[in-house]
Structure 1
Amino acid sequence: MYSPIPEDWHEANRARWDERVPIHVASAFYDLASFRAGKDALRDFERAEVGDVTGRSLLHLQCHFGLDTLSWARHGASRVVGLDFSEPAVDTARSLAAELGLGPDRAAFVAADVYDAVEAVPDRAYDIVYTGGGALCWLPDIDRWAETAAALVAPGGFVYVSEFHPIADSLDDETGGRVVHDYFVRDPWVDTTPGTYTDADAPTVHNRSVEWLHPVGEVVTALAKAGLRIEFLHEHDATLFPRYAELERHEDGYHRFPAGRPRIPLMYSVKASRPA
């Protein structure tokens, strides 16, 4: 028997994210000043694996306040659309797009739940449907997510997922060297930790969240069941923040385990295409 999903999971998560938008906007983690000056928000492996986006349309599901979305526009995507359930995040994304001189014809943002994306976004077929790190853990139903993403891919296009590896949530926070949580757990995880990943000491009120761990096999299988062809599954030995105390920050901005220590995957990426 699985634990029931709290009835207020969606409202609790949205309130948490709404409150954290201004904290993230002001943070060194997102460094908006550098982004405005031209710094790329995307990871190097994402750019390499997605490839040239020049002249292609791209939909970013769960886009937060749009830095990755707008970065794809900067790389030449003909039109980008970002979707997020947080209205403050979407408002911020729209303001940033206007600052960069990207009108709605180049960069549009929609406030809606990801499961409602087919009805909410302005187009019905995108060359690329993209989702970045830290998105899938907020969704209870990965099959429904994959079906939604697949329904929005144009023939010959693909879904690209860049995510934190779920094995990381099975290990202890101090060393990342001991398995302390069940990798295959299906129960929702309710957290009440204040602050946020950009500022652990930030004063916050809406601290309750409901999250889910989705094993990599579950994500890949859901995409295949939705009618997409899996092109690759890549695992990466680096992550974007100091998930464990023993991780070291490298010059490229990634966090890795010290040299000589056995490595584990900390992120993964999947490309799944729709036949032309």
Structure 2
Amino acid sequence: MSQTNDYTAINKSTWNDKVDVHMASDFYDMEGFLNGKSTLNEIELELLGDVTGKKILHLQCHFGQDTLSLSRMGAEVTGVDFSEKAIEKAKSIAQTLHLKAQFVCCDIYDTPNYIHEKFDLVFTSYGTIGWFPDLNKWAEVISKVLCPGGQFIMADFHPVVWMFDNDFKGVLYHYFNTEAIIEEESGTYADREAEISNQTITWNHPTSELINALISNGLELNCFNEYDYSPYNCFHETEEFAPHKFRIKHLKNKIPMVYSLSATKK
């Protein structure tokens, strides 16, 4: 079996290895979170609005901080992730904080085989679709689990960002989805000095591929926004030009770094 064919197992191993490092990192600020800090950003909060009483499915929830932030806002939330270790930690944190949330461990493509209810809202954010080779299959899952009239809300890093090398000095990868990108990674975005080393297999997806996948699966685009900053300091060569807003120093505001969108199931 080729590496690309085995991408799920390879990437799952990588994310299992990241969990303890991420939970101990300043990046994820577990102490602040446990003391009541929300991990949701202005970008996605603007689209989420009042979620009180809404049934939300959070895809690729990692160890549950955003999921539990939504629970604190009054939503009835279910988080899904393929990392067994992350889901185990998410359940433990929810129990510690006495927050009502469900967590399910499965491949996102397999979600409808594990979750048989419908949701008012599906949410996913930051570092998501690059882990999938087939966006049509991903969008089909979203459509299946949404109620008619339900909303899909997403915020993620812009595909332009993934074209560059790590130091943003030159264009290294295609904007379009031409092939799997296989990389060796030392450390992690949350702790670059962490003593872990892993392989990742990802795909770049142009904006057109994303939007057309949603449209083809019965979702109607409400809005698509682009931002010239990242709310996270997770890239090399960054500067914080305003609180919690980061750009690449030498590129300033010349490139889009994040997008957000809202779509409604017909």
Structure 1 distance, partners of 2:38, 2:242, is 16
Structure 2 distance, partners of 1:81, 1:52, is 17
**Deviation (angstroms), 1:187:** 0.4
Deviations 1:59-89 (A, max 9, x none): 0011100101111111111x10000000110
SS in 2 for 1:248: strand
Identity %: 36
Deviations 1:107-158 (A, max 9, x none): 000010000101112x421001001100111111100000001111111211
**Deviation (angstroms), 1:260:** 9.2
User: Higher strand share goes to which structure?
Assistant: 2
Map of 1:69 onto structure 2 = 67
Sort the Cα spacing of 1:143 and 1:101 in 2 relative to 1 into closer, same or farther, 3 A.
Answer: same
Structure 1 distance, partners of 2:65, 2:200, is 23
2:107 equivalent to 1:110: no
Structure 1 distance, partners of 2:177, 2:49, is 35
Map of 2:194 onto structure 1 = 202
**Deviation (angstroms), 1:259:** 9.9
Q: Which runs of 5+ in 2 are unaligned?
A: none
Query: In angstroms, what is the RMSD of aligned CA positions?
Result: 1.8
**Deviation (angstroms), 1:7:** 2.3
Match for residue 84 of structure 1 among 81, 84, 88: 81
Map of 1:232 onto structure 2 = 223
Sort the Cα spacing of 1:51 and 1:185 in 2 relative to 1 into closer, same or farther, 3 A.
Answer: same
Deviations 1:225-276 (A, max 9, x none): 000100011111111124241x21244212124599442110011111013x
Map of 1:157 onto structure 2 = 150
Map of 1:143 onto structure 2 = 136
Sort the Cα spacing of 1:196 and 1:177 in 2 relative to 1 into closer, same or farther, 3 A.
Answer: closer
Matches for 1:176-195 after TM superposition, within 5 Å:
176=168, 178-195=170-187
Amino acid across the alignment from 1:124: E
**Structure 1 residue runs of 4 or more that deviate by more than 6 Å after TM superposition:** none
2:127 equivalent to 1:134: yes
Map of 2:212 onto structure 1 = 221
Structure 2 distance, partners of 1:113, 1:248, is 35
Q: TM-score, normalised by structure 2?
A: 0.94
Structure 1 distance, partners of 2:97, 2:9, is 32
Structure 1 distance, partners of 2:31, 2:74, is 21
Amino acid across the alignment from 2:40: L
Amino acid across the alignment from 1:140: P
Q: TM-score, normalised by structure 1?
A: 0.91
Sort the Cα spacing of 1:107 and 1:262 in 2 relative to 1 into closer, same or farther, 3 A.
Answer: closer
Structure 1 distance, partners of 2:182, 2:162, is 14
Structure 1 distance, partners of 2:193, 2:186, is 8
8 A contact 1:169–1:181 mirrored in 2: yes
SS in 2 for 1:187: coil
Structure 2 distance, partners of 1:86, 1:258, is 34
Sort the Cα spacing of 1:17 and 1:54 in 2 relative to 1 into closer, same or farther, 3 A.
Answer: same
> How many aligned positions are there?
264
SS in 2 for 1:72: helix
Structure 1 distance, partners of 2:253, 2:19, is 36
